[in-house]
Structure 1
C-alpha cells in the first residue's frame, strides 16, 4: 500500500513539474510532507523532523552555494572573468571554431568555480555575442556554451559538497580519491564529445559567415577597461587547488573556506583598497544568486528525511533489492538508457524526485557506494545540460533566439552516449 501511494505521489508531482504547474522548489517539500503523512507520522514530528530538521539537513551545501556565488560576483566586479574571456577571444584570432574552442576552454575553467544564473548571464553575455559575431550560428553558439558550462560543472564544489552528504561522510572525513579520478574520466569524455559534436555541427552548418554587423574587435572594445594583473587570473583555480590539492595530501579544507580564500585573493590582487566594498556587495548579490539553489536544497533535505522514515524504507527496500544490479550490463543499461528520465525533475534527477530513489539505493547498499555515486555523476550530466526546465537552459535559449527544446534536441544524444560510456568505466572501476 505504501509503495503504491509513493508511486502515485511521485507520478502526480512529476506530471505537475513536467507541465510547469508547480516548480521543484515547492514540489519537493510538498512531496516530503505527503510521504510523511503516508507513513502516518504525527503532525508534530512532520513539523519538527521533516520540515525543520530537513530544511537544515543540507545546510553545508547551501552555505557553500552562497560562498561560491559570492566569489563569482567578486570575479565579475573585479573584471577577472571578463579579462579571461577577452584574452581567450584575442588568442583565437579570426578563425570562428578556434575562437569558440578558446572561449569554451575558459568557460569550462570558470564554471569549475562559478555557479548560479547570475554567472551564466554575465559570462554568456560576453561569450555568445563574440561567437555569433564570427558567424557561429545562433543555435550552435548556445549549444557550445551550454556544453562547456556542463563540462566545467563536473568539478564544481557545490556538487562535491552534495556528494559528501550522499556518502554520509563526517566533517573530518576526506572525499574518496576515486571521485576525483572518475571526475577526470567524465570530463575527458565530455571534451571528446564536444570536439566531435563541434566538427559535425560546423560541417553541417556549411560556410560560416558573419551574422552580425558588430565585429569581435568592437565587442572586445566594449568590455571593461579595468587593468587586471595576470596573477589575478588564477582566481578560479584557488578553491580547486585548496580543496582537491590538500585533499590529495590528506588535509581537509572545506569548500566554504576555499571560496572565501578565493574571494580574498581576487580583491587583494586587483584592487585591495576597495576590498571591503567589493566583498560586501558581492556577498549581498551572491546570496541573491544562490537563493534558488538553497531553497531547492532545503526541499531535498526534507525529502531525504521523509524517505528515511522506517515505514517508507521497509516498504521500498524489497522493490529496490529485486533489481538485478549485480549485473554490470543491467547497471549500464538502467542508468544509461533511462538517463533521459532525469529531465523535467524526473525519477533520476538528483535535484528532483530522483533524490528519493537514490537515497533508498544508498540505504539498501544494493550497489557499492562509489558505483552509485558515479552513476549519479553520469546521469547528472544529462540533466545539467539537456533539461529544458533548467533556468540556465532557458536563458541561453532566449539569448540566442531559439526554443529551449531545440537545445535539448541538440544535446540529448551526445550526452546519453557520454553517460553510457561513463557508466562502462564506472562498472569496470567499482563493480
Structure 2
C-alpha cells in the first residue's frame, strides 16, 4: 500500500508542474497541493499494513488526525509571520531609497564616472544595479531603476536586447545576498516545528557572494564582448537620458543601500534594525526630516507603498509553510518509492541540476517560485540536508526564473518597455542562464556536497 500512496503523491507532483507550466495561479496550486499532500498520507496511514514500514515511521504515522491538520493549516502559517515582517521593512526601505532620490543619484554618479568609455560605463551601471538590489526589493524598485538605467544603456549604443538581458542579470546577481529575497525562500526550509534550518550567515553568504560575482561577471562580459570595435559614445549622450534630479542628494547618502547588509554581515545586527537605521539615515541627510510633520508624512507614505509592493508575495508565502508541513507527512512514502531510484549522491544530484537547469524557466520543477516547491519536498524526504538544498535550488530560482524567465513580472515589463520580442529574449538568455546555473551547481557541490 505504501507504494500506491507514493505513486499518488507523485501524480500530484507532476500535476503541479503541468499546472504551473500552463500559467495556473501558483498561490491556488500550492494550496491544493497542501490539501492533497495532507489528505493522501492521512488515508494511507490508516491503510498500510507492512509492520516494518509502520515501525520505521511511527513518529509520522501515529500522529492523530486533529494534531496533523492543526500543524499543517494553523501552526505552520502562524510561524511564518516573522518572515512577513522582514518583507515589509525591506520593501519600505526600498521605497525610501526611491523617494529620497538616492537610487537615481547613485546612477547619475556612475554615468559620470564612466566618462567617454561606453563599456566601462555599462559595466559600472551593472555593478551599481547589483549593489542596489542587495537591499532593495520588488517589482516597483526594478521598474523605477529600469526607467533610468535602460535608456542610458541604449544611449551608449548597446542593442536593446543585450541591455535588457544584462540589466536583469545584474538585478538577479544582487538578489543572491538580498536579505529580503533570502527570507522569501528561507520559509521553504522550515522544520516540522516551524523553525528556520538555513540562515543568513556566513555559511550561506560565502556562497552568495561568489554567486553574485559569477552572475555579475557574465552580465558585464555579455555586453562588453558585443561592444568591441564599436564607436565610442560620449558621456553627454548618456547624461541626456537622465531624468532631471529634483531633490538634492548629499554624497554621504550614497552609502545608504549598503548599510543594512554591512550591519548584518559585519556586526551581526538584526536585518530589520539595519533597514530602520538606513532608512532614517537616508531621510535625515536628504532633508526629509526637517520637521515632525515631514518625518511622519515621509514615513507613512513610504511604509504604505512598501506594504503594497509586498502584496503579491504575501499570499503565496503564507501558504508555503502549509505545503512544507504537508511534505513532511509524505516523507515515508517517498522514501519507500524513490529511496532506491533517486541518487543519494550529492555529486550526481549536482550534475543532474547542471544538465536540467532550464527547467527553472516557466515556473518549472527547479524554481521555488513555481513547481520547485514539490521537487524540494521530494529531495528533503530523501535525506539531503537543507544546507545543501538551499543553494542548489536557489541558483535556478534566481538565475533562470528571476533573471531570465518571461513569466517574471518585471521581465514582462522590460520586454514591453524596450520593445524586445520574448522569443528573441529567451534565445539569448537561456544559454547564458544555463551556464551560470551549471557553474553554481558545481560550486554548491564543492562547498556543501559533504554537509
TM-score range, shorter chain: 0.7 to 0.9
| Equivalence for 1:80 | 102
Alignment partner of 1:295 is 2:312:
no
| Pair 1:27–1:423, CA change in 2 (3 A) | same
CA distance in 1: counterparts of 2:431 and 2:196, whole angstroms: 39
| Equivalence for 1:6 | 9
| Pair 1:72–1:426, CA change in 2 (3 A) | same
Q: Which has the larger radius of gyration?
A: 2
Alignment partner of 1:236 is 2:257:
yes
CA distance in 2: counterparts of 1:339 and 1:315, whole angstroms: 27
Contact 2:86–2:272 (CA<8 Å) still a contact in 1? yes
CA distance in 2: counterparts of 1:398 and 1:229, whole angstroms: 34
Query: What secondary structure does 1:150 align onto?
Result: helix
Normalised by the size of structure 2, how large is the TM-score?
Answer: 0.84
1:281 to 301, 317, 336: 301
| Pair 1:60–1:338, CA change in 2 (3 A) | farther
Contact 1:308–1:360 (CA<8 Å) still a contact in 2? no
| Equivalence for 2:416 | 398
> Superposed, which structure 2 residues align to 1:30-429 within 5 Å?
30-40=32-42, 48-162=70-184, 164-165=186-187, 166=189, 168=191, 175-203=200-228, 207=230, 215-220=237-242, 222-247=243-268, 253-271=269-287, 272-273=289-290, 274-309=294-329, 312-322=330-340, 323-326=342-345, 328=347, 330-366=348-384, 368-380=385-397, 381-429=399-447
Normalised by the size of structure 1, how large is the TM-score?
Answer: 0.88
CA distance in 1: counterparts of 2:16 and 2:182, whole angstroms: 27
Contact 1:300–1:351 (CA<8 Å) still a contact in 2? no
Contact 2:400–2:434 (CA<8 Å) still a contact in 1? yes
Query: What secondary structure does 2:16 align onto?
Result: helix
Considering only aligned residues, what root-mean-square deviation do their CA atoms show, in Å? 2.7
Query: What secondary structure does 2:286 align onto?
Result: helix
User: Which segments of structure 1 move beyond 4 Å, counting only runs of 4 or more?
Assistant: 41-48, 162-165, 167-176, 206-210
Contact 2:97–2:282 (CA<8 Å) still a contact in 1? yes
Q: Shift in Å at residue 161 of structure 1?
A: 2.4
Contact 2:365–2:372 (CA<8 Å) still a contact in 1? yes
Contact 1:33–1:46 (CA<8 Å) still a contact in 2? no
CA distance in 1: counterparts of 2:76 and 2:120, whole angstroms: 48
Which shifted more, 68-77 or 253-262? 253-262
Q: 1:258-316: CA deviations, max 9, x gaps? A: 2222211211221222222111101100011011112221122221122122xx12111
Q: Shift in Å at residue 121 of structure 1?
A: 0.8
Query: What secondary structure does 1:56 align onto?
Result: helix
CA distance in 2: counterparts of 1:175 and 1:13, whole angstroms: 29
| Length, aligned pairs only | 415
Unaligned segments of structure 1, at least 5 residues: 248-252
Q: Shift in Å at residue 245 of structure 1?
A: 1.2
| Equivalence for 1:250 | none
Contact 2:20–2:362 (CA<8 Å) still a contact in 1? yes
Which shifted more, 86-95 or 101-110? 86-95
Q: Shift in Å at residue 28 of structure 1?
A: 1.3
